[in-house]
Chain A
């Protein structure tokens, strides 16, 4: 059966349904015209259709031209405010850090000396710490968050769904200083006495777990960040997966897929762009997180290959040193650290978007 034939039979069926009382031998086109014009004499009088709320509102209001134009103007202003805010922030950061920009130039981003006493400032250890903790956090949180989201949206028994969703969203609402306190009192001793020795014993060959383990350091900061971004990623991913139309799932199942194949090809494939968006949002929070990280990272500006070593992040050093910074160059360098954080966030976001674009452009859902 061709597509056109299929369409016409559907139309036939529809008109037939709508006109149970009318003569079934009348051609479809005529019946449609009956509805638009006066009903033919002899056919039973249908009551005039009651105009809907919307139709009544639209017919009663005057010309919408003025309202439309001013609305468009206001919306444009809202959109432009985003540009204005970003440009304003960047301009102020650059203006207030001109002293250190003039003094250190691009070397600021590539040297690792941060010494307020001798007036040497380099942001590299902080950039390293920020990126290392954030990617550690993603490494831990993304698989976990996807698991939570798949479970809630596809496999969860109905009575469990609401409590689990509620708890994940509750995690997102906990202030970061509370996470920090919890980390100091629970995660740090756990890391020092149980998790650390375990990692050394079984993963020592990776050389990632060397040196003294005091419980504070890059790994602890990565874990607390992972816990903090888990609810963001999992709840957005869950919403996106729930918005995949059910007929996609039914179609894949009907073709003989198992449940896992259905989730992979029917749900995850369709939701992948949204999932990447969720991960980027999580990454954004991880990059800028200050308080909880400061409390467990050890605040020591060095670039170490061991995950047990203390580190420092861009956000932490600003929070730690800004209030007591004396000297114009010191202050200006701290503001340039803020600029560095701004740039790191933009660059990481741009790379993530580029990746999404490269992976998904024009690609339809497929099995691979």
Chain B
């Protein structure tokens, strides 16, 4: 299957003629798999448009599009007010898909799926809960025989959107975490060890007994890793799924510029550690034909591309949001 996709991608590249409109984008790594699929499919339908995307990280994406180095950017965390103010090229946020972060752990002899409350996860990373048999973990997991072993918290050492979503959630559910650590792509973790990338965290959790970590849902699913349920704002323990993530987006109030965090969103079935990922599209394109090509792609993405998201474990936009985004895209000059 993967070989076929690759072959299709190569054919698409070969089919693109020299006269094709080249559009360059850069940014977030989290949505890269679906973006690359969308761009290659779009290139097959429109041989005159060729979209190149480099997954250099959200920070790099924001920097490059703000300086006008690339035609569009992509980010997992919304741009801050300061970043928007200082940007040379003004952009709008277009939400594309949603992702989730899940807690993973390695406990020998525990076969049940564990439940975690947000404040418990925060206190594990603050070092306040240091043993697996802590009464607060036990309270969420009645009947589970938890060992008296020390917890090894594992975090992402590299700056990442995953860490941003995770710390953003923990800051919302724990005032202490917000004061001591805060939300950002890299933070100062009070305890634990850092590993690079989802694969680094997952590898360490798989290997080290009694460890606890967090990875993207798409990564956990793709590698068949067991993960825990998380308590949402309505007090229900939810297992992460694309439906739960879309429900979180549907429950949140979304402002006109789409810069919104949907962690800990209301709704009985909302998965609490969810987030949009955005494309950053310049308001005033330097080149009208490029702007037209980007607009064409966005319209195709909303009408056709979104339907492919779920099979790649990305949650599609809820219908209400998608309709609003359609109007925004129609307004791009």
Question: Any chain A CB within 8 A of the CB of B13?
Answer: no
Q: List 18 A-B contacts (CB under 8 A).
A: A116-B159, A116-B184, A189-B207, A192-B208, A212-B150, A214-B211, A295-B195, A295-B196, A298-B193, A299-B196, A310-B193, A319-B196, A320-B157, A321-B158, A323-B60, A325-B59, A325-B159, A325-B186
> Bound state CA distance, A228 and B160, in angstroms?
29
A118 touches B186 (CB 8 A): no
B187 touches A299 (CB 8 A): no
> Bound state CA distance, A299 and B82, in angstroms?
29
A326 touches B83 (CB 8 A): yes
Number of interface residues of A (CB under 8 A): 33
- Chain B contacts for A276, CB-based, 8 A: none
> Bound state CA distance, A295 and B186, in angstroms?
17
Q: What 0/1 readout, one digit per residue, does chain A (166-210) give for beta carbons within 8 Å of chain B? A: 000000000000000000110011001000000000000000000
Interface positions of A (Cβ within 8 A of B): 113-118, 184-185, 188-189, 192, 212, 214-216, 294-295, 298-301, 310, 312, 316, 319-327
B183 touches A320 (CB 8 A): no
Q: Which 3 A-B residue pairings sit nearest by Cβ, starting from the closest?
A: A324-B159, A299-B194, A299-B157
Nearest CB of chain A from residue B74's CB, rounded to whole Å? 13
From A115, A212, A294, give the contact of B196 (CB < 8 A): A294
- Chain B contacts for A327, CB-based, 8 A: 82-83
A295 touches B200 (CB 8 A): yes
Question: Any chain A CB within 8 A of the CB of B189?
Answer: yes
Given known A-B contacts A117-B182, A215-B208, A310-B193, A323 and B159 have beta carbons under 8 A apart: yes
Question: Any chain A CB within 8 A of the CB of B33?
Answer: no
| B residues 129-144 in Cβ contact with A at 8 Å | none
How many residue pairs, one in A and one in B, have C-beta atoms under 8 Å apart?
Answer: 97
Question: Any chain A CB within 8 A of the CB of B62?
Answer: yes
> Bound state CA distance, A189 and B207, in angstroms?
8
Nearest CB of chain A from residue B288's CB, rounded to whole Å? 30
> Bound state CA distance, A299 and B59, in angstroms?
20
> Bound state CA distance, A323 and B191, in angstroms?
23
Q: What 0/1 readout, one digit per residue, does chain B (157-178) give for beta carbons within 8 Å of chain A? A: 1111100000000000000000
Nearest CB of chain A from residue B124's CB, rounded to whole Å? 14
Closest to B194 in A: A299
Interface centre among A115, A116, A295, A326 (most CB of B within 10 A): A326
> Bound state CA distance, A85 and B100, in angstroms?
46
Nearest CB of chain A from residue B21's CB, rounded to whole Å? 28
Closest to B158 in A: A320
- Chain B contacts for A189, CB-based, 8 A: 207
> Bound state CA distance, A116 and B152, in angstroms?
23
- Chain B contacts for A215, CB-based, 8 A: 208
Closest to A184 in B: B203
Question: Any chain A CB within 8 A of the CB of B20?
Answer: no
